[in-house]
Structure 1
């Protein structure tokens, strides 16, 4: 057995050439190259190998390799195999040399775009497994990879997590090229640059960086490149892998990288000078740097009138305080500060809690956990019955708990209002953040009353002001205070007044247009 392994190893070393770096190069023998590919890919049944004779005598042979399901069979038959056969078989009396035939193959025979030349097996494997067709010639040690990708994808559908009433209803898919095309449809500028790289030793996932040259900060672009090139992992299956590996701060509940599945949102972020990171296999595109206000703004804010968008934003900020502090304030006031409430309200709450045997904190904690369990169960259930079960379960459990004397009716109202307010966030990540912070705030309120709430809020604000996203302060334009950027923070100024990009993000090209921004539209007389 040992002698057999040594014999196989020696025969393999003769059929391939290894460089000092360990890279294996193609041989001039076509059959040896095909056999090496079969051994490396385990004779997989979805890898198609075809040998085609290019001369009547059969002296010149071409090999065609591709992956069934990733490559488009129609493109291969119509634009690769047929074109090659018609061109290379129409030769003069004297047959071409392998090098001349290879050059003719690249220049004339292949009528399809996306052709690249290679000499090593690593590039060959990557090309085949990426959906490209590989052409090898006998008696020649180079190959050609042709772009013939044609796998099935989900297509362009409406985003499921960022729905709008007014605005585009198209969302990203799991195909990288489809996603880049959707962004280029929005921004038809030659300065929109795209850089690609492969990340993952096993998956070799295609990751693209997209930015507008001259608008995005060179420092941020270089930092994105450095952090992506520093990733050393066996596989990338979703953009969440990238997000965890390149974020500034690990131990924080607040997201420092934004994600979206809407092309219009990504286009708007690029126009502000940010950098988009697209990952093949996921419809969620990452955007850096991401600020706190970015997670509060929605795409529809820029499609409605300024006054309506401002009102909705104010409601969102009110929703933040309700989501974070409403249960804590109820616990603190009913436990320590009853004198802050009117006497009739205090008597009503006392009457409701007369038969409740547990403290307000335990009561609120039980209701919060029950609601979160129902919420997660509704998400994991089939879509047909998920919403119905979560709604019915909430009503039944809440009513039964009140009638059984486990919780008071006021606590059910507090938890319900808090849960509804948590759905007002456009970003699901930020909603999860305040759901997590709500529990320690309830503990502080139960222990120290309003003093504990004030300490918790101050700690959260200090933590927010210490965060940075790719070098940009997380709380800008509030901290540091930038008066010019307040036009698109809490309030949304009219379009004619939003003439400059965020100052800390885009520091080179800060003006959105050439026309003087100080002139607002004048009404007709």
Structure 2
């Protein structure tokens, strides 16, 4: 370990009988002093201290030098007693603790989010899922990072084929550094060239628990506050956790609102291009004249107007995410107002285009999971391109093609467009009954 400035090597005991080695930045000094240093001087007897260390929870004896180095770099202390080597667990854990869910905020229900400590995350899940059927399998991924990955599932409800495939894919990940759940999701996805996400990445422990109860597999990762859920169906991305708390009619109403928002954000820009430049006769005369009148001062075609405003909205969205929280919302709100007002007065865009872009942005933001939100932001440009090229026929073809594409997608061998596992089981039970 030469060259490691944080490497400590000491001798303990009344007669310096015990040799201790550890990485200072990875170990908890309080644990070392309390459970190693103090007992080494109080016991005095070598055999008693050896028995004490060997029986301590978390202590292991390394099989070879490679395993010893691996545990030292995790935060274990190497204790050598009479030519016998022990690895004592004294890991220092620096995490942000339990905070509120930010990306998946809800009105009612639990507000805690997953943390960067995998053991704390397992605790959050076990408190909610107090069943002996909940199983946890630990793996290590990353040649350099040695990231701990946990696979959680209900042994009575899980789909064994999905579980075996998940084990195989995680075990086959060969990377040096693994730091986020999004990276792991990318590595274990079968379809490399895909548009829609096939696994849910969530920060909410209650969503993890709900999906485990549905028979799905959850994957937790150390050093990140997110979990991966698989297999996933399309409707999972449009379900907020407080939908389960609402009155059934209200919950269904909220889901319908989200699907209407999905349709609006995908098709409104394309419909604007179609009705403004290709098929104005489909609309009422008054509406067609209204669109034409608002575009009278605009010097370029409708598709350029659409692309200009959609791109400006993308810029504002990205700026709101990257700017410091203290000034981000204010800067983007003021910038959006000034941009829309000035562009309209200058005749660069029409008033209707400003309204349409605002409606597209708002309807995109109602999607509960950001992964699907990013996908929808990309898909709408493809639909606009079809509308530019083929008019209303292109709109119809693009929407039908999108549905066919979703129908052919699979998540761990399971259809992307289908009911949840619980709904299938309940319907089967009703038939059998």
Is 1:411–2:353 an aligned residue pair? yes
Contact 2:53–2:59 under 8 Å retained in 1: no
Which deviations, in whole Å up to 9, do the C-alpha atoms of 1:249-268 show, x marking residues without a partner?
A: 11111000111111111000
Residue in 1 aligned with 2:406?
Answer: 464
Q: Using the alignment, how far apart are the partners of 1:68 and 1:517 within structure 2? A: 61
Residue in 1 aligned with 2:68?
Answer: 124
Which deviations, in whole Å up to 9, do the C-alpha atoms of 1:179-204 show, x marking residues without a partner?
A: 11111111111221111111111111
Which deviations, in whole Å up to 9, do the C-alpha atoms of 1:147-177 show, x marking residues without a partner?
A: 2223221000001101011010100111111
Q: Which consecutive unaligned segments of at least 5 residues does structure 1 have?
A: 1-37, 92-100, 478-484, 486-499, 504-509, 519-525
Residue in 1 aligned with 2:333?
Answer: 391
Q: 1:332 deviation in Å?
A: 0.6
Secondary structure in structure 1 of the residue aligned to 2:384: helix
Q: Using the alignment, how far apart are the partners of 1:85 and 1:215 within structure 2? A: 52
Q: Using the alignment, how far apart are the partners of 1:128 and 1:259 within structure 2? A: 31
Contact 1:80–1:112 under 8 Å retained in 2: no
Q: Using the alignment, how far apart are the partners of 1:389 and 1:221 within structure 2? A: 46
Contact 1:119–1:143 under 8 Å retained in 2: no
Q: Using the alignment, how far apart are the partners of 1:109 and 1:350 within structure 2? A: 84
Which deviations, in whole Å up to 9, do the C-alpha atoms of 1:321-345 show, x marking residues without a partner?
A: 0010011111111211111222222
Q: 1:502 deviation in Å?
A: 4.6
Contact 2:19–2:81 under 8 Å retained in 1: yes
Shifted more, 254-263 versus 70-79: the winner is 70-79
Is 1:71–2:31 an aligned residue pair? no
Secondary structure in structure 1 of the residue aligned to 2:295: helix
For 1:255-404, list aligned pairs within 5 A. Answer: 255-404=197-346
Secondary structure in structure 1 of the residue aligned to 2:296: helix
* Count of residue pairs brought into register by the alignment: 430
Q: 1:85 deviation in Å?
A: 3.3
Q: Using the alignment, how far apart are the partners of 2:200 and 2:343 within structure 1? A: 39
Q: Using the alignment, how far apart are the partners of 1:188 and 1:66 within structure 2? A: 37
Residue in 2 aligned with 1:491?
Answer: none
Q: 1:112 deviation in Å?
A: 4.0
Residue in 2 aligned with 1:452?
Answer: 394
Residue in 1 aligned with 2:6?
Answer: 46
Contact 2:216–2:229 under 8 Å retained in 1: yes
Q: 1:363 deviation in Å?
A: 0.2
Secondary structure in structure 1 of the residue aligned to 2:422: coil
Which deviations, in whole Å up to 9, do the C-alpha atoms of 1:3-46 show, x marking residues without a partner?
A: xxxxxxxxxxxxxxxxxxxxxxxxxxxxxxxxxxx23xx2x222
Which deviations, in whole Å up to 9, do the C-alpha atoms of 1:83-120 show, x marking residues without a partner?
A: 23333x136xxxxxxxxx4xx54543567421111132
Q: Using the alignment, how far apart are the partners of 1:459 and 1:385 within structure 2? A: 41
Q: Which consecutive unaligned segments of at least 5 residues does structure 2 have?
A: none
Secondary structure in structure 1 of the residue aligned to 2:60: strand
Q: Using the alignment, how far apart are the partners of 2:94 and 2:173 within structure 1? A: 29
Which deviations, in whole Å up to 9, do the C-alpha atoms of 1:33-70 show, x marking residues without a partner?
A: xxxxx23xx2x222222112454xx5xx2122222233
CA RMSD in angstroms, aligned pairs only: 1.9
Residue in 1 aligned with 2:155?
Answer: 213
Question: TM-score, normalised on structure 1?
Answer: 0.79
Q: Using the alignment, how far apart are the partners of 1:125 and 1:293 within structure 2? A: 46
Q: 1:378 deviation in Å?
A: 1.4
Q: 1:365 deviation in Å?
A: 0.2
Q: Using the alignment, how far apart are the partners of 1:123 and 1:355 within structure 2? A: 73
Secondary structure in structure 2 of the residue aligned to 1:256: coil
Which deviations, in whole Å up to 9, do the C-alpha atoms of 1:476-512 show, x marking residues without a partner?
A: 13xxxxxxx5xxxxxxxxxxxxxx7254xxxxxx469
Secondary structure in structure 1 of the residue aligned to 2:79: strand
Which deviations, in whole Å up to 9, do the C-alpha atoms of 1:263-289 show, x marking residues without a partner?
A: 111000100001111111110100111
Q: 1:219 deviation in Å?
A: 1.2
Q: Using the alignment, how far apart are the partners of 1:105 and 1:123 within structure 2? A: 23
For residues 476 and 131 of structure 1, do their structure 2 counterparts lie closer, same or farther at Cα, with a shift above 3 Å needed? same
Q: 1:77 deviation in Å?
A: 1.0
